[in-house]
Structure 1
């Protein structure tokens, strides 16, 4: 079984084309690596559904939710599925399906333009193809090279039995990051979010 401890490893936030921050856990506390304008503060909280990953003096907050797909037996004996919110520490098994929601909250008194969220696929997880969505209009792109480049439809070059090489869609196991680039400014006192699903390997 795999222990799930604050599954998110790194989250990158950017807006106005000039800001990027990486947040990572170190020894049970949160540390900030990276740079940009404004001062950063990180406040981990025990409630997973309300986990506050990044709080900035310029009024932007990032929150994370994680749910696991579970089977529930109804009173009449029928089985249905529902999403169960995960606590701060949860135990999962290979094959479990997890849904992540990352929300960016603009607490400022003015809009934010060029708002972007970039999320690594947390190990030991595998992205479920076509599961990424957004609350608002956004360009969703993916990386298969640890965040170096992003495209809408990642591809890989493979060698066929006859020795010729061809380009094919990249397998889910090669996805390393997801990026949401929101097309419209985020209004003051508003929230946008991205969502995706993974399976535990």
Structure 2
């Protein structure tokens, strides 16, 4: 059981995201826990994922910094979804997603998945294999930012 739990936690670690130009990335993953105090007020806590179980909500945080001396033009970050996690949305900057290992990209509502009988069905969050952000404006030298996406442990 301990080995299986370790392997699950290792599978949740965000894979190395890929970015263009001289952009440095720092990837983190947190378990989102909701606690209620004595007065009944709820607080959302982000904790290191020491133990996770199916149904746990995860928050993936990608911090970026243009470490170059020039603006980073055509800035793109691509991050694979861990196989043990179902995509559950993103923050204020919604990503493009892929449901075929990164071959095609689009909004989830616009993508389809092939069925064994040759038909296609609408893509679902569990089908997402990668998330991608493609910035339309250059990132100034020294500028920083943060991107967030969420998942649920399968």
TM-score interval w.r.t. the shorter chain?
Answer: 0.7 to 0.9
2:101 alignment partner in structure 1: 146
> Is the aligned partner of 1:171 residue 2:124?
yes
Structure 2 residue ranges without an equivalent (≥5): none
> Structure 1 runs of 4+ off > 6 angstroms?
none
Greater per-residue strand proportion: 1
> Residue 156 of structure 1 contacts residue 168 of structure 1 at CA under 8 Å; is this kept in 2?
yes
Give the alignment's TM-score, normalised by structure 1: 0.63
Work out whether residues 67 and 83 of structure 1, in 8 Å CA contact, stay in contact via their aligned partners in 2: no
Deviation digits for residues 10-59 of structure 1 (CA, Å, limit 9, x no counterpart): 422224xxxxxxxxxxxxxxxxxxxxxxxxxxxxxxxxxxxxxxxxxxx5
Q: Rg bigger for which structure?
A: 1
Identify the structure with the greater helix proportion: 2
Q: 2:69 aligns with which of 74, 94, 109?
A: 109
- Contact 1:72–1:81 (CA under 8 A) maintained in structure 2: yes
CA distance in 1, matches of 2:134, 2:146: 11
C-alpha distance in structure 2 between counterparts of 1:105 and 1:164, whole Å: 44
Write out per-residue CA displacement over residues 73-129 of structure 1, whole angstroms, 9 at most, x where no aligned residue. Answer: 2122x1524032316xx211110000111122112222110000001111211101x
Aligned length: 146
The reply to whether residue 133 of structure 1 matches residue 95 of structure 2 is no
Contact persistence 1:127–1:198 (CA under 8 A): yes
Q: Which runs of 5+ in 1 are unaligned?
A: 16-58
CA distance in 2, matches of 1:164, 1:189: 49
Cα distance between partner residues in 2 of 1:91 and 1:177: 24
Task: Give the C-alpha shift of residue 141 in structure 1.
Answer: 1.1
